[in-house]
Amino acid sequence: MSDLLCPPSALPVVADAMRLLELVREAPPLTHCITNAVVTGFTANVLLAVGAAPAMVDIVGESELFAGIATGVLINLGTPTPEQRAAGLEAAAGATAAGTPWVLDPVAIGALPVRTAHAQSLVEQRPTAIRGNASEILALAGLSAGGRGVDATDSPDAAAEAALLLATRYGSVVAVSGPVDLITDGERTYRVANGDELLTRVTGGGCALGAVMAAFLGAAHGRRISPLTAVTAATLFYTVAAERAAARSTGPGSFAVAFLDELAATTPADLSGAARVADAGAHVTEVAS
Q: What are 147-197's pLDDT values in tens digits?
A: 554 455 577 889 999 999 999 999 999 999 999 999 999 999 999 999 999
Query: Dihedral, CA atoms, 114, 118, 123, 124, nearest 10 degrees?
Result: 120
- Kindly indicate the confidence band of residue 9, based on its pLDDT and cuts at 50, 70 and 90: low
Counting beta carbons within 10 angstroms of the beta carbon of residue 62, is it exposed (0 to 12), middle (13 to 18) or buried (19 or more)?
A: middle
What is the C-alpha separation between 120 and 80, in angstroms, rounded?
13
Task: Please write down the long-range contacts of 117-124, taking CB distance under 8 Å and 24 or more positions apart.
Answer: 118/77, 118/80, 118/85, 118/88, 119/77, 121/89, 122/75, 122/77, 122/88, 122/89, 122/92, 123/166, 123/170, 123/172, 124/170
Let me know: does 239 contact 14? Beta carbons within 8 Å: no
Report in angstroms the alpha-carbon separations of 83 from 60, 61, 66, 77, 252.
Answer: 7, 10, 16, 12, 32
d(CA 55, CA 34): 9
**For position 284, what pLDDT does the model report?**
39
Position 82 pLDDT exceeds 90: yes
Positive or negative, the Cα torsion across 136, 214, 286, 116?
A: positive
The predicted-structure confidence for 255-277, as pLDDT tens digits, reads as follows: 999 999 999 999 999 999 999 99
Residue type, 158: A
Q: Give long-range contacts, CB 8 A cutoff, 24+ apart: 53-58.
A: 53/28, 53/29, 54/211, 55/30, 55/31, 57/32, 57/33, 57/87, 58/34, 58/83, 58/84, 58/87, 58/88
233 contacts 175 by C-beta, under 8 angstroms: no
Q: pLDDT tens digits, residue range 111-139?
A: 899 999 999 999 999 999 999 999 999 99
- Which residues in the chain belong to E strands, given as ranges? 30-34, 53-55, 72-76, 102-105, 129-133, 173-177, 181-184, 188-192, 277-282
**pLDDT computed for residue 4 by the predictor:** 47
